[in-house]
């Protein structure tokens, strides 16, 4: 039997997507959930998996095509022995196009000349997104349920294949909001209407983009559900900065330079190994703490379209130069809107370094379900009394916001002091 693989609903209000790399060829044998094609929307790049196992009979799109949701991507001759999960999956996808036929349906494809600047990112199959925070994999009925319950589907953790969100996931998330007394995001949050600012002068309105919408929701949720405290300290980075500057002279390209943030990522990963609570999440529903044995560090990146937080995975196992190169690549991808949801998921702790821009101190907001975030402000030369003598030293202000339900004040002071001492005396890291 032949089936069309159609473009499923990708996210709310997304009506079409641009076809990127096509990852299969006619005649290929594909397995259930194998990546078929990359697609790009104005929000992010995603990979569409096959809802069936079978042989590709025809590919109906080309790179650069704009395909409406529900449009056919390819025709597949499916195996009769599709498993239970495949059937379930196929049914979910079929909901997008109820009149799905056994032969190709006509596709309203808008042909576009390939434009390099907006070309979708080539994601090697080894890096195929598994998590999805911006473009969420969920069937229309699941989305409908989330809308009805007033749940922001982007915040729901999917437990299905490729983190697909099921009705149970949505119900569980909604239940947890009720049990923890968290404010429901999305439509159930009661916002007061604004006054008519036009009465006092000229105004201009601009609709939220998706990043702003998600940021607004997650910040509100974090602020309203996490009793957070910010603890301040400062590190004397005179010696570390002298080393960094000297090392920069040897760098073959700007990308090889050690950056402040890359060093911080490494120091944080090692600190998280020693202070396991800071690498944990608090589960109020089941009244337990989830300790993680991996050390993934998120970095707040300022982009023209809003704040994005790519994640350096397993930072404890990487050297600082590798972290720096990876971080530069992730920050570039984030700024060019080429970052994938998988590259932004799984973080245990976040660093927000505003030092390149200025400021003396700030209080970052914990990025739930993480329990702490480090704010870094601009290092400045300050007079410091060393062995009874005033010396000009380079001092970097650090602020640690933490979830006070899990972390006590003394623990935060010890954690941040350890970080300061590691920056002041890197030998400490070897001990
Ligand atoms: N103190 C003093 N100087 C600092 C510094 C600090 N804390 N952090 C960076 N700098 C310096 C760098 O050394 C660099 O100078 P040189 O070229 O002489 O080396 C310059 O400032 C620019 O650095 P950068 O910001 O590009 O540094 P980075 O690579 O370490 O940081 C990144 C990368 C992604 C963290 C940064 O580009 C960025 O986006 N920061 C903003 C994060 C943000 O928006 N946070 C707020 C989130 S909450 O709304």
Give yes or no for a cis peptide into 28 (omega within 30° of 0). Answer: no
Backbone angles phi, psi at 287, to 5 degrees: 50, 60
What does DSSP assign to residue 271?
H
- Give the number of the atom of ligand 1 that is nearest the alpha carbon of residue 257: 19
The tens digit of pLDDT for each residue in 202-250 reads 999 999 998 999 999 999 999 999 999 999 999 999 999 999 999 888 8
Closest to 93 measured CA to CA, from 10, 2, 155, 1: 10
Lowest average pLDDT, out of 126-130, 156-160, 395-399, 416-420, goes to 126-130
Residue 109 has pLDDT above 50, yes or no: no
**Active-site residue list:** 404
What pLDDT score was predicted for residue 180?
53
Farthest-apart Cα atoms in the chain, separation? 86
**How close is the Cα of 358 to the center of ligand 1, in Å?**
9
The ligand 1 site (C-beta within 6 Å) comprises: 259-261, 299-302, 307, 331, 352-356, 364, 376, 378-379, 396
To which H or E segment does residue 147 belong?
Answer: helix 140-149
- Give the number of the atom of ligand 1 that is nearest the alpha carbon of residue 262: 30
What pLDDT score was predicted for residue 178?
66
| Pocket perturbation via mutation, ligand 1, pick of 260, 298, 395 by most ligand atoms within 8 A of CB | 260
Lowest average pLDDT, out of 63-77, 129-143, 299-313, 403-417, goes to 129-143
Which structure tokens are listed for 370? 């993480």
d(CA 213, CA 202): 25
**How close is the Cα of 376 to the center of ligand 1, in Å?**
9
| Pocket perturbation via mutation, ligand 1, pick of 312, 353, 374, 378 by most ligand atoms within 8 A of CB | 353
The tens digit of pLDDT for each residue in 296-341 reads 999 999 999 999 999 999 999 999 999 999 999 999 999 998 999 9
Q: Please tell me whether the overall predicted TM-score, pTM, comes out greater than 0.75 for this model.
A: no
**How close is the Cα of 335 to the center of ligand 1, in Å?**
14
**How close is the Cα of 249 to the center of ligand 1, in Å?**
19
Q: Kindly indicate the confidence band of residue 115, based on its pLDDT and cuts at 50, 70 and 90.
A: very low
Maximum mean pLDDT: which of 104-113, 256-265, 412-421:
412-421
The tens digit of pLDDT for each residue in 274-284 reads 999 999 999 99
Closest to 391 measured CA to CA, from 400, 382, 399: 382
| Pocket perturbation via mutation, ligand 1, pick of 256, 310, 355 by most ligand atoms within 8 A of CB | 355
Percent of the chain with pLDDT over 70: 82
β-strand pairing of 349-353 with 372-376: parallel
**How close is the Cα of 410 to the center of ligand 1, in Å?**
29
d(CA 346, CA 110): 36
For residues 166-189, one letter each, b for 16 or more C-beta atoms within 10 angstroms of the residue's C-beta and e for the rest, the string is beebbeebbeebeeeebebbbeee
pLDDT top residue among 355 and 143: 355
Taking residues 362-386, what's their average pLDDT? Answer: 97
Closest to 261 measured CA to CA, from 231, 296, 300: 300
Closest to 394 measured CA to CA, from 277, 243, 168: 243
Residue 107 has pLDDT above 80, yes or no: no
């Amino acid at each position: 039997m032949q089936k069309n693989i159609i473009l499923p609903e990708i996210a709310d209000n997304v009506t079409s997507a641009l076809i990127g790399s096509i990852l299969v060829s006619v005649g290929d044998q594909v397995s259930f959930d194998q990546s078929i094609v990359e697609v790009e929307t104005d929000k992010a790049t995603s990979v569409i998996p096959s809802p069936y196992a079978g042989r590709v009979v025809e590919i109906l799109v080309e790179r650069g095509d704009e395909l409406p949701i529900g449009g056919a991507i390819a025709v597949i001759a499916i195996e009769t022995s599709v498993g239970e999960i495949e059937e379930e999956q196929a049914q979910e996808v079929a909901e997008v196009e109820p009149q799905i036929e056994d032969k190709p349906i006509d596709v309203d494809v808008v042909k576009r000349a390939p434009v390099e600047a907006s070309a979708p990112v080539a994601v090697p199959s080894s890096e195929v997104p598994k998590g999805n925070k911006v473009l969420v994999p969920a069937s229309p009925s699941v989305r409908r349920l989330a809308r009805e319950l007033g749940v922001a589907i982007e915040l729901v953790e999917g437990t299905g294949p490729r983190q697909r969100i099921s009705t149970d996931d949505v119900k569980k998330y909604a239940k947890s909001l009720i049990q923890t007394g968290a404010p429901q995001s999305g439509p159930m949050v009661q916002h007061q209407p604004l006054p008519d600012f036009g009465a006092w002068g000229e105004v201009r309105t601009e609709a939220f983009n998706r990043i702003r919408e998600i940021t607004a929701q997650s910040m509100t949720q974090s602020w309203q559900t996490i009793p957070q405290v910010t603890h301040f300290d400062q590190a004397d980075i005179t010696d570390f900065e002298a080393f960094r500057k000297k090392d920069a002279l040897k760098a073959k390209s700007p990308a090889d330079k050690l950056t402040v943030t890359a060093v911080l990522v490494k120091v944080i990963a090692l600190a998280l190994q020693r202070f396991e609570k800071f690498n944990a999440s608090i589960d109020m529903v089941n009244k337990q703490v989830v300790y993680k044995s991996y050390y993934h560090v998120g970095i707040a990146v300022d982009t023209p379209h809003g704040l994005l937080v790519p994640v350096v995975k397993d930072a404890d196992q990487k050297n600082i130069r590798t972290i720096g190169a990876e971080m530069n690549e992730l920050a570039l991808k984030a700024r060019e809107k080429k970052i994938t949801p998988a590259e932004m998921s799984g973080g245990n702790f976040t660093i927000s370094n505003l030092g390149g821009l200025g400021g003396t101190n700030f209080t970052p907001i914990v990025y739930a379900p993480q329990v702490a975030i480090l704010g870094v402000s601009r290092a400045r030369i300050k007079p410091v009394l060393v062995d009874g003598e005033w010396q000009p030293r380079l001092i970097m202000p650090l602020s640690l916001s933490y979830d006070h339900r899990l972390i006590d004040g003394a623990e935060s002071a010890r954690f941040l002091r350890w970080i300061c001492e590691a920056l002041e005396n890197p030998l400490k890291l070897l001990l």
